[in-house]
A and B are shown apart, each in its own frame.
Chain A
Amino acid sequence: MEPIFAILVGAFFTVAIYLFLSKHIIRVLMGAAILGNAVNLLIFTAGRVTREVPPIIGGDSDALSDFAANPLPQALVLTAIVISFSFFAFLLVLGYRAFQELHTDNSDEMRVAEPMAEPSPPTGY
């Protein structure tokens, strides 16, 4: 199972990096969403993919059975999903606001903060 997941994770990363190379913010945004999912899958795979008993302690015992799945990667992925989702939401709004204010989503044309024709510092007193 793991090799398939590894290839899938690799494909996700490839797509994300390809989209990140674009000059258009909207594509970069999609890249960010895919990158987040790539990492989630990676953590999920790193915690071994097995068909085991869910890590739930039954009413008649007070410890996990030996065959229980490892719950920690699931907790990590859950945290990472929440964080990457909220980041994506923020970036989406930020990208949209930037488009409204700057009238472009091309990062080459976003030069308000760093204007091309900035004067050089004075060379004399």
Chain B
Amino acid sequence: MAGKSEPLADLSVAYTMDKVPAADWLVAAPVVWCILLGAILLMLRKRTDIQPLVAIPALGILVLMTFALLAHVIQNGTVTMTMGRWLPPFGISFTVDLLGAFFAATSALVALGAGIYGRSDVDDTGRRYGFYPFLLLIMAGILGAFMTGDIFNLYVWFEVLLISSFGLLVLGSERKQLDGAVKYAFLNLVATTLFLVATGYLYGLFGTLNMADITVKASELRGTAPLMTLVTLYLLAFAMKAAAFPVNFWLPASYHTPRLVVSALFAGLLTKVGIYALLRILGMLFPFEREELSFLIAIAAALTMILGVVGALAQNDIRRSLGFLVISGIGVMMAGLALGSPAGLSGAIFYAAHSMVVMTALYFATGIGARLGGSFELTSAGGLYARNAFLAAMTLILFLSVAGLPPFSGLWPKIMLVKASLDIGAWWLAGAILVTGLLTTITVGRIWVLAYWRPAPGEGPATMVPASLSAGATIALAGLVAVTIAAGVWPEPVMALAQDAARGLIDPSAYVLSVFPVEASQ
């Protein structure tokens, strides 16, 4: 059919017949793998005994894939793969730079932990309701969001992870879960709709959705187009996803209701996708507008961290306390975004990765503690140290890490952020970070003293029986704790990675070059 007439346009600029290099398939592989395995697990829905045996190795392979991708990106720089032979900006591109690859690898690690922990935490009913398929599909959404180079595609991945998170949240349909899920679902729907509104405007202004293309065109359109409105909309949408004050109330309303492994996964990964989107859109695509908004972001960041930790201090339920600590951590990351300097952004990136690992592990530890005969209520919990000293030690390490005390991974990003704020004279932002650290230490110290150190109320030390942990839970917890210790005592590689990733955001020329190799070399 084609070729009967002279082409009206030069088609060589629109698509290519070149083969995709084999290494580039690595870009799409993690997402394809997750969706494929999600589908297979859905078919195995009723074989609850086989599900973990398929899902856990699959998540292990996913970790290998994402680390291979990270190694590939470190070695060769940003990689781009455009779907269906179209050339960017016509085709949908997956562009993985250091930031995306780093977050993808960390989140795959966390998901593997959740898969292993879920083996003992999710019973047959939960598995029949589809815990493992949802786990794989939510990973598809999260990894897709970290890797895509197209802003509408980012929206689609947000929806993929959101709909899977609904499924995970109501797993079991208990009364509490339905209540939490109603609030979670509506407020997240509003956030993604705002994201879509902003994307609609963006397409109207730019006529393109490719992030590299937008980065180039933003400097031309600045001054004539209402970019400030656009960026403010994006800020609101992603701040809502990330649970920044004052749009954070869906998080403490819902995060303590689902099964513990689900809470752990959400606390580790979901809000960080919001932070990633903020870093990508505000940090890379619209740096000038971010600069204008930086004071607003800084105030929101300071309020988020302080009010988050004060909320944590006021809770009796340990899970709710941890939910507020997640919010407080988001404030610290937002502070890095507000600073916008290389040191600030790299601090935010490092802190996000630290928070993914540590918050997930903390929920695991809390769940194991509750199963060992303690309780989620601080008033009635106690005696966990006597029951299992290993668990108490692991939890203490995580508590110190989340509070930002040495020698664990929470210390370094906080130092980077405090130093970056003092460098520009924002003493109040540095002060907020430090006060948050102090209040966090008090909060987690109190939880540890009450739930772990003191004997259980109404029980003498003599009646306390030591209890052992299940193998899966121990592996998941100890693995994540090992990561936080390793990143704490040997931070240079992670710090260098975060700094390179931040540099890639501030100077996106490598990102653009990866998407438009021909145009840039002319």
Q: A: which residues have CB within 8 A of B?
A: 20, 25, 28, 32, 35-36, 39, 42-43, 45-47, 59-66, 72-73, 76, 79-80, 83-84, 86-87, 90-91, 94-95, 97-98, 101-102, 107, 110-114, 118-122, 125
Contacts and interface: CB of A to CB of B under 8 A. Distances in A.
Given A42-B197, A87-B163, A112-B179, A62 B316 contact: no
Interface string B1-39: 111110111010000000000000000000000000000
Contact of B152 (A20, A61, A76): A76
A110 B170 CA distance: 16
Contacts of A79: 152, 156
B203 A73 contact: yes
Nearest to B194: A39
Given A25-B182, A39-B197, A97-B178, A61 B4 contact: yes
Given A113-B176, A121-B379, A122-B378, A63 B182 contact: no
Given A32-B189, A113-B179, 13 more contacts: A25-B182, A28-B186, A59-B4, A61-B5, A62-B1, A65-B8, A90-B185, A94-B181, A94-B185, A97-B173, A97-B178, A98-B178, A122-B379
A104 to B, nearest CB: 10
Interface stretch (B41-49, B94-102, B248-256, B487-495): B248-256
Given A62-B3, A112-B179, A113-B180, A125 B449 contact: yes
The interface residues of chain B, by DSSP majority, are classed as helix
Nearest to B188: A87
Nearest to A83: B159
Contacts of B313: 121
A116 to B, nearest CB: 13
Interface in B194-216: 196-197, 199-201, 203-204, 209
Interface of B: 1-5, 7-9, 11, 152, 156, 159, 163, 166, 170, 173, 175-183, 185-186, 189-190, 193, 196-197, 199-201, 203-204, 209, 252-254, 256-257, 313-317, 377-379, 446, 449-450, 454
Contacts of B446: 121
Contacts of A72: 203, 209
B440 to A, nearest CB: 15
B454 A125 contact: yes
A70 B99 CA distance: 33
B378 A121 contact: yes
A61 B8 contact: yes
A125 B382 CA distance: 11
Given A62-B5, A76-B203, A121 B315 contact: yes
A76 B208 CA distance: 12
11 contacts: A42-B201, A43-B199, A45-B204, A46-B201, A62-B1, A76-B152, A86-B163, A87-B189, A98-B179, A112-B179, A121-B450
B186 A91 contact: yes
A110 B156 contact: no
B314 A110 contact: no
Given A94-B178, A94-B181, A125-B449, A60 B200 contact: no
Nearest to B457: A122
Contact of A101 (B7, B166, B178, B204): B178
Contacts of A60: 4-5
A68 to B, nearest CB: 10
A76 B207 CA distance: 13
